[in-house]
Structure 1
Amino acid sequence: MTQETHQVVHPQLSADMFNLSTTQSDDELLEEEEETNEAPIVPTDLDTSSHTVRVTRPVPPRDFVLPRALTTEKELLELAFRPSALNTRVTCRIHRCRDGLDKLYPQYHLFIEHLDTGDIHHVMTARKKRKSNTSYYTITGIYRESQTVPEGYVELGKVRSNFLGTTFVIYSHGKNPLKREMATKKKDLPIREELGAVLYDPNILGFKGPRKMTILMHALTRDGKRSEYRPVKESEMLLSKYRDGGARDLLVLHNKSPQWNEETQSFVLNFNGRVTQASVKNFQIVHDNDLDYIVMQFGRVERDSFTMDYKYPMCLLQAFSIALTSFDAKLACE
């Protein structure tokens, strides 16, 4: 696939969007709205002729649009692993299949959703692995070169929990450095990349209120790119760093605390219409320094249909993996 084709398919995911300084397009947009979005505030103790403070409203995020189904493995990997562009929201829908033999081991199909047209494109599927002592999900990416050939599949990653279902670790597809896998099919693969971890606060029978989540990720570089971390020792992993107090170089996020509504006698969050049904699985992810910036949100719209939206600095595989942890039963959390 040429670079030109890549730019047409993923305009919001282009490298130019990852500059942390204000882009030219953003400057032009702010200049166009300058008259309506700016208001001078004059401090009373300063010389008003030489000091003026201008306050601007934030520009609403753009919605990412996938114009067509993915046709190459390269396109799929770009979409799965590259963080969302600045000021861009990626809207998704997840459908859970748990009929027949899949009742205990459901499948989860993720679609990129275009809100204006209603178009959806199937890009990932997660399956809960059988015969595992802990919850274990494998995630596969899907692309199709043309309608005349079968779909292509790429193993992207996995999500695995501890026995109680309170801690989950997210990895890319690769070799586990802590195990001897020389005799398996993974022996020629690179060491797996650690993409994140999710911790749920223990909450027996729900006496402490709604679920509380902590999400751990590696911080991005100054130009907004995600560096690859492939730890080979347990002490180098996210959970070990966090528990040992080494979280300074980590990105630590939490779910937004819902507010109690006296009228409905329930805890509520404002999903701006993207979530329509109450569920213990619903959540919004924020950073403690900016509770109004929703990094990710997830919630139910039908019995087996859910919406998932995410923004910078998450990538699609990270967001889908975090959503999977919410589906899982948690013995010590409720």
Structure 2
Amino acid sequence: MAAKKQKNNKTSKYVVTMSKTDDTGKDEEAYLGKLRSNFLGLEFVAYGEGMNPKKIDSSMSQVHALQLARQELLAVQYSSSLWGTKPRGPRKMGAVIPKVQPSGERMICRTLHPDQEGLVALQKANNMSLIHSFHNKPPKWNEQVGAFVLNFNKRVTQAPV
């Protein structure tokens, strides 16, 4: 699997393929999807095959338009921790994925209105019936060390840089 950052974009955009040789993402058999960020780089969404809903003809029937729209596979959000007046300290990270049904099939998140019905919108609306939401464990400030720390229950023997 390989990913390549696309140039000349206002936001970060990566094409993800199963090919080491085709880094443009144009080989349809090797193409897996893309990863895009918002302008600030705080929200990332991974998309599968399909078209951007904004580029689908609005005169098309909704059923056909939904078949053409790309899937949202995963959303990752970052936010700064607020320590005092300035955002400092470790960032918080959250990931959102569609729920897996009891049959073992993953729910499909395909919408013509991602701002209202996409993974990020569902997470912000706290709609947990369709998604799983995961968050990192926040570190605690340790006065003795003068840094944020996490307890790894003796699985880690050396501090990171």
Q: TM-score, normalised by structure 1?
A: 0.36
Which structure's residues are more often strand, by fraction? 2
Q: Contact 2:109–2:119 at 8 Å: present in 1 too?
A: no
Which residue in the other structure is 2:3 paired with?
126
Which residue in the other structure is 1:196 paired with?
74
Which residue in the other structure is 1:255 paired with?
136
Structure with the greater alpha carbon radius of gyration? 1
Q: Deviations over 1:262-301 (max 9, x none)?
A: 454322332935x96736xxxxxxxxxxxxxxxxxxxxxx
Partners of 1:230 and 1:164 lie apart in 2 by: 24
Q: Deviations over 1:118-153 (max 9, x none)?
A: xxxxxx11111110001111111248xxxxxxxxx7
Partners of 2:139 and 2:82 lie apart in 1 by: 19
SS in 1 for 2:34: strand
Q: Percent identity?
A: 35
Moved over 3 A (4+): 202-208, 259-264
Which residue in the other structure is 2:26 paired with?
none
Q: What residue identity is the alignment partner of 2:160?
A: A
The answer to which structure, 1 or 2, has the higher relative contact order (CA under 8 A, 6+ apart) is 1
Count of matched residue positions in the alignment of Structure 1 and Structure 2: 140
Q: TM-score, normalised by structure 2?
A: 0.69
- The 3 A distance-change label for structure 1 pair 261 and 245 is closer
- The 3 A distance-change label for structure 1 pair 276 and 230 is farther
Which residue in the other structure is 1:226 paired with?
106
Q: Deviations over 1:180-201 (max 9, x none)?
A: 48xxxxxxx9432111211212
Q: What residue identity is the alignment partner of 1:233?
A: H
Structure 2 unpaired stretches of 5+: 21-28, 58-66
Partners of 2:5 and 2:108 lie apart in 1 by: 26
Which residue in the other structure is 1:163 paired with?
39
Q: Which moved more, 1:260-269 or 1:193-202?
A: 260-269
Q: Does 1:278 align with 2:156?
A: no
Match of 2:146 among 265, 269, 276: 265
Partners of 2:89 and 2:147 lie apart in 1 by: 10
Partners of 1:161 and 1:174 lie apart in 2 by: 18
Q: What residue identity is the alignment partner of 1:278?
A: P
Q: Contact 2:80–2:87 at 8 Å: present in 1 too?
A: no
Which structure's residues are more often helix, by fraction? 1
Q: Contact 2:78–2:92 at 8 Å: present in 1 too?
A: yes
Which residue in the other structure is 1:135 paired with?
12
- The 3 A distance-change label for structure 1 pair 258 and 241 is same
Matches within 5 A, 1:5-44: none
Q: What residue identity is the alignment partner of 1:251?
A: H
Cα RMSD between the aligned structures?
3.2
